[in-house]
Structure 1
Amino acid sequence: MLPNALTLLNLFCGCCALVSIFSMDFRSAILCVAASAVLDFADGMAARLLKVHSEIGKQLDSLADMVSFGVVPSAVVYMLLAARADVNIYNDSVFMSRVNIAGLPAFLIAVASCYRLAKFNLDTRQTTNFIGLATPANTLFFVGLLLILLNNAPFGGWERILFEPIVLYVLTVIFSFLLISEIPMFSLKIKNFEWKGNENRYIFLVLSLILLLILRGAASFFYYDCLCLINVFGYLLGRKKTA
Structure 2
Amino acid sequence: MSIVKHIPNTITCLNLFSGCTASLLAVEGHLELAAAFVLIAAIFDFCDGLSARLLKAYSPMGKELDSLADMVSFGFTPGLIALAYLKYAILGDVHADFNPAELEASQIAILLSAFLIPVFSGLRLAKFNVDTRQTESFIGVNTPTNAMFWASIPLVLHFGDYPFIVEWLANPAIIIVAIVITSLLLVSEIPMFALKVKNLSWQDNKIRYLFLMSLVLLAVLVKWLVIPLVIFVYILFSIIDNLTKKK
TM superposition score normalised by structure 1: 0.85
> Does residue 7 in structure 1 map to residue 12 in structure 2?
yes
Q: Please name the residue that 2:180 is paired with.
A: 173
2:179 & 2:98 partners in 1: Cα distance? 26
What is the CA distance between 1:115 and its match in structure 2? Answer: 0.7
How many percent identity over aligned positions?
Answer: 39
Query: For 1:161, what is the secondary structure of its paired residue?
Result: helix
Aligned residue in 2 for 1:26: 31
3-state SS in 1 of match to 2:32:
helix
* Residue aligning to 1:217: 224
Residues paired across the two proteins, number:
237
Amino acid at match of 2:19: G
The residue number in structure 1 matching 2:212 is 205
| Matched AA of 2:138 | F
> For the Cα contact (< 8 Å) 2:148–2:227, is it kept in 1?
no
Task: Give, in angstroms, the shift of residue 92 of structure 1.
Answer: 8.4
Q: Does 1:120 align with 2:128?
A: yes
- The 8 Å contact of residues 133 and 179 in structure 1, kept in 2 or not, is answered as yes
- Flag the 1:94–1:113 CA change in 2: closer, same or farther, 3 A: closer
The alignment's TM-score, normalised by the length of structure 2, stands at 0.84
Aligned ranges 1:74-85 → 2 under 5 Å: 74-84=79-89, 85=91
Which residue type is aligned with residue 22 of structure 2? A
Contact 2:78–2:117, Cα closer than 8 Å, also in 1: yes
Shift in Å, 1:38: 0.8
Q: Distance in 1 between matches of 2:169 and 2:236?
A: 18
8 Å CA contact retained: 1:69, 1:135: yes
Unaligned 5+ runs, structure 1: none
2:85–2:169 CA contact under 8 A, matched in 1: no
Q: 1:101: how far off?
A: 4.0
Please tell me the residue identity of whatever aligns with 2:234.
Answer: L
- Structure 2 unaligned regions, length at least 5: 1-5
Q: 2:68 corresponds to which letter in structure 1? A: L
- In 1: Cα distance, 2:97 partner to 2:209 partner: 49
What is the alpha-carbon distance in structure 2 between the residues aligned to residue 32 and residue 143 of structure 1?
Answer: 9
Q: What amino acid is the match of 1:105? A: S
Q: Which residue of structure 2 lines up, in the alignment, with residue 164 of structure 1?
A: 171
Choose the corresponding residue for 1:45, options 24, 30, 50: 50
Alignment equivalent of 1:142, drawn from 150, 153, 160: 150
